[in-house]
């Protein structure tokens, strides 16, 4: 039943992407905003911030979807992508759920020297509603208070550079881009919609940049070298068991890796 809900939600997102007008098309707009921030404003990272513990692994999932698909240095025809404005190609994706992120990297989001576009994801309904006796709001309301407050803080900031009465350490420049997605509930259908929206977003980015979002040659080089390392370790272990000394081929690895391997196999 849960799987059917996820598939149903994903299908509804597919239909929306195929039929909705551009100014109402959620995945297309997500992709356009992302390209604007990356290519025209030069932002090289973006933060995905779900205000739902059920989505704790969603930022890691999107890292794979986005960075593996669009983390390219050439376009689909093999031409090098520009590395100066206007820049193209995938950005760094990171994030944590809710208030966990607030107490780790939000400081940099609000006052760091390089603005980082943020994408907030929340839900109207809680999966596990709890209301403490005598409290005016539920635990979900407490969480969502932060969901609504953080984009405002990023956009509006606090104080003015001309405000001499404001401690410089407490100055917030604002004008930091963000967008918010508010779902009815983060149930199986909502998760299916969310996953499909972001898959389509990544595809939109790839089309606009002219890259092939469906190959991942960047992961192959390290895997190939790992096979050589494994062979090296296998030979070293066999030599150790037989009591013989084996001189490793120096050309197989760079000097620092060679030294580290020698240390590793000697212990």
Residue-wise DSSP of 80-110: BPPSSSSP-S--EEE---HHHHHTTTHHHHH
Q: What is the DSSP letter of 221?
A: H
Given 11, 61, 68, 87, which residue is catalytic? 68
169 part of the active site = no
Q: 3-state DSSP call for residue 187?
A: coil
68 part of the active site = yes
Given 114, 162, 223, 247, which residue is catalytic? 223
Q: In angstroms, what CA-CA distances link 199 with 8, 33, 65, 107, 108?
A: 15, 15, 7, 29, 27
223 part of the active site = yes
Contact between 109 and 47 (Cβ < 8 Å): yes
Q: How far apart are CA 11 and CA 61, in angstroms?
A: 19
Given 103, 142, 158, 231, which residue is catalytic? 103
Q: Which of 148, 142, 145 is nearest to 130 (CA)?
A: 142
Q: How far apart are CA 49 and CA 128, in angstroms?
A: 19
Query: What is the set of active-site residues?
Result: 68, 103, 223
């Amino acid at each position: 039943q849960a799987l059917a809900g996820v598939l149903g939600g994903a299908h509804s997102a597919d239909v929306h992407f195929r039929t909705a007008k551009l100014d109402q098309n959620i995945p297309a707009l997500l992709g356009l905003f992302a390209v604007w921030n990356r290519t025209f404003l030069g932002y090289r990272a973006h933060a995905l911030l779900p205000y739902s513990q059920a989505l704790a692994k969603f930022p890691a999932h999107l890292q794979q979807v986005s960075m593996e698909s669009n983390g390219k240095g050439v376009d689909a025809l093999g031409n090098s992508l520009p590395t100066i404005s206007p820049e193209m190609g995938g950005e760094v994706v990171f994030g944590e759920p809710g208030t966990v992120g607030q107490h780790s990297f939000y400081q940099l989001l609000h006052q760091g020297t390089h603005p980082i576009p943020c994408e907030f994801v929340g839900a109207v309904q809680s999966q596990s509603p709890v209301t403490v006796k005598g409290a005016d709001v539920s635990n979900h309301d407490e969480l969502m208070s932060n969901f609504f407050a953080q984009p405002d803080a990023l956009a509006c900031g606090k104080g003015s550079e001309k405000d001499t009465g404001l401690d410089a350490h407490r100055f917030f420049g604002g004008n930091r881009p963000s967008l918010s997605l508010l779902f009815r509930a983060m149930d199986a259908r909502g998760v299916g919609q969310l996953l499909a929206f972001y898959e389509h977003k990544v595809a939109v980015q790839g089309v606009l940049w002219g890259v092939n979002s469906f190959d991942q040659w960047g992961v192959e080089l390290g895997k190939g070298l790992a096979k050589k390392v494994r062979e090296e370790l296998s030979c070293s272990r066999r030599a150790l068991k037989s009591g013989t000394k084996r001189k490793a081929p120096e050309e197989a690895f760079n000097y620092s890796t060679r030294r580290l391997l020698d240390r590793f196999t000697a212990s």
